[in-house]
Amino acid sequence: MIEKKNYIQTAKKKERAVLAAIHTPQQSREQTQEYLDELAFLAETANVEVVKRFVQNLQKIDAKTFLGKGKILEIADFIQKNEIDTIIFDDELTPSQVKHLEAILKCKILDRSLLILNIFAQRAQTAQAKIQVELAQYQYILPRLTRMWSHLSKQRGGVGMRGPGEKELETDRRIVNDKIALLKEKLAHIERQSQTRRKARNTMVRVALVGYTNVGKSTLMNLLSKSNVFAENKLFATVDSTVRKVVWNRVPFLLSDTVGFIRKLPTTLIECFKSTLAEIVEADILLHVVDIAHPSFEEQMQVVMQTLAEIKAVDKKIITIFNKIDVLREKIYQEAIPDEAPLHLQEIYAQKKADNSLFISATKQENIEALRQMIFEAVSERYFQIYPHNTENFLQQFLMSHSFE
Ligand SMILES: Nc1nc2c(ncn2[C@@H]2O[C@H](COP(=O)(O)OP(=O)(O)OP(=O)(O)O)[C@@H](O)[C@H]2O)c(=O)[nH]1
Ligand SMILES: [Mg+2]
């Protein structure tokens, strides 16, 4: 009984972690800091306390231990003295690097991918999302089984374990492969059902909110469709898709909110989330939401565009929504250039306006009417194509309309 009680207490205790990243000739110091900020945010989302960050200047990654020897020993010392449970690396480690690091650091070793997978597992709500995450986890494990086995064999003494060890490794691989096959089958079944559902909606104009994580997609979804989707200041608040029917001036369309993108999103995860991402792939219009106040918003935009290209969803109308204009204004103000602030914003605004974009604040509800107008025009254009016979009626409605419901 006592043991059980202890176990629960330990489980409730917040995990303490250190972060590790490198600064190479290809990656500037500022970039590394930003990546680490994001990694810390990810850790916080997973309910892990970040105690310290370690950065090493490296010309080249150490094939064996990722970081250099001296740095590793410094970290090992810190881990031992400060009761650290976990070290999280910003980059993906090879199975053999994990093995070497484990031997020296003697704590749990995570990389960004595994951390993201953990968050997804915590957040997944629907059966589909849960299966997708489980599938991604097994696919992550598969190439790393060797390490897990060698870890086990060490515990058992290791001597003379080679034969049975390899045999058991094969068994483990088979179990994991069977599990992957089963999960894929389950997903295919769910996908067939969703496809039927999506086909039934094929006659509707479809609009999808896309963007980097934490930019305000769900907040906008709630604003535009009067729904109540979970939104909060954490990464990956949303990992499932939500679709709502919206009717503006009697023109109906479907609006969907879905999982956000992130730098270095594990490819297995993208692959596994294909069905969730289908909402994006099959949409007619994409609303690319950007957090304009984020220091690396441009890089985030690139990541989104790259991911869209990866899932083959770029050949559609894209409206770029620069959100959190209130935060940007505040930042510019704090940097003590208040006079230039509006000018600066207007300048960017004028530049961007030409190519289907808009500056808004979803929480302060700034420029929302203009956004609705822009979305409405895009939806209407598409609606024309689907229902050409409605043109007259529709045009009339369109011209007479000034406000939206
Ligand atoms: N100040 C400010 N905060 C905003 C604005 N829009 C959204 N937020 C906040 O940003 C945070 C993230 O918003 P979400 O709507 O959850 O973002 P998301 O893109 O759905 O995020 P994920 O689902 O995690 O990918 C929340 O705390 C929002 O309240 C805005 O215009 N201004
Ligand atoms: Mg969301």
Average pLDDT, stretch 8-29?
78
Is 113 labeled as ligand-binding?
Answer: no
In whole angstroms, what is the distance from residue 317 CA to residue 111 CA?
Answer: 36
Is 379 labeled as ligand-binding?
Answer: no
Residue nearest to ligand 1 atom 7, measured at CA: 216
Question: How many CB atoms sit inside 10 A of residue 57's CB?
Answer: 12
What residue ranges in 292-368 does DSSP mark as E strands? 317-323, 357-359
| Residues facing 366 on adjacent strands | 361
Does the structure show a pLDDT above 50 at 20? yes
CB-ligand 1 contact for 357 (6 Å cutoff): no
What number does the ligand 1 atom closest to the CA of 233 have?
A: 27
In whole angstroms, what is the distance from residue 167 CA to residue 21 CA?
Answer: 37
What number does the ligand 1 atom closest to the CA of 211 have?
A: 19
CB-ligand 1 contact for 361 (6 Å cutoff): yes
Residue nearest to ligand 1 atom 25, measured at CA: 213
237-248 pLDDT, tens digit each: 777 778 888 888
**List of residues 6+ apart from 404 with CB closer than 8 A:** 248, 249, 369, 372, 373, 376
CB-ligand 1 contact for 362 (6 Å cutoff): yes
Question: How many CB atoms sit inside 10 A of residue 296's CB?
Answer: 18
Of the candidates 128, 135, 147, 124, the residue with the CA atom closest to the CA atom of residue 176: 135
CB-ligand 1 contact for 219 (6 Å cutoff): yes
In whole angstroms, what is the distance from residue 199 CA to residue 208 CA?
Answer: 16
Is 35 labeled as ligand-binding?
Answer: no
pLDDT band at residue 395 under the 50/70/90 scheme: low
pLDDT value, residue 8: 38
Average pLDDT, stretch 85-107?
90
Q: Which of 122-126, 242-246, 375-379 has the lowest mean pLDDT?
A: 122-126
Which tokens hold the place of 290? 């950007």
Measured in Å, residue 238 CA sits from the centre of ligand 1 at 11
Superfamily for the 15-119 domain: GTPase HflX, N-terminal domain (3.40.50.11060)
200-209 pLDDT, tens digit each: 666 789 999 9
In whole angstroms, what is the distance from residue 136 CA to residue 267 CA?
Answer: 9
Average pLDDT, stretch 209-230?
89
Per the prediction, the chain carries an average pLDDT of: 81
pLDDT band at residue 405 under the 50/70/90 scheme: very low
pLDDT value, residue 350: 57
Q: What is the ipTM of this complex?
A: 0.99
250-302 pLDDT, tens digit each: 888 999 998 889 988 777 778 778 777 888 999 999 999 999 888 888 889 99
pLDDT value, residue 152: 42
In whole angstroms, what is the distance from residue 372 CA to residue 405 CA?
Answer: 10
Which tokens hold the place of 209? 């909110």
Superfamily for the 202-400 domain: P-loop containing nucleotide triphosphate hydrolases (3.40.50.300)
Burial of 125 (0-12, 13-18, 19+ CB in 10 A): exposed
pTM value is 0.82
Does the structure show a pLDDT above 60 at 402? no
Does the structure show a pLDDT above 70 at 9? no
In whole angstroms, what is the distance from residue 44 CA to residue 243 CA?
Answer: 29
146-185 pLDDT, tens digit each: 644 444 444 444 333 444 456 677 788 888 899 999 999 9
Name the more confident of 379 and 399. 379
Residue 371's alpha-carbon distances to 124, 248, 288, 367, 397, in angstroms, are 30, 13, 12, 6, 19
What number does the ligand 1 atom closest to the CA of 325 have?
A: 31
Residue nearest to ligand 1 atom 13, measured at CA: 216
At how many degrees (to 10) do helices 325-334 and 340-353 cross? 140
pLDDT value, residue 160: 37
CB-ligand 1 contact for 323 (6 Å cutoff): yes
pLDDT value, residue 24: 84
Which tokens hold the place of 268? 């297995």
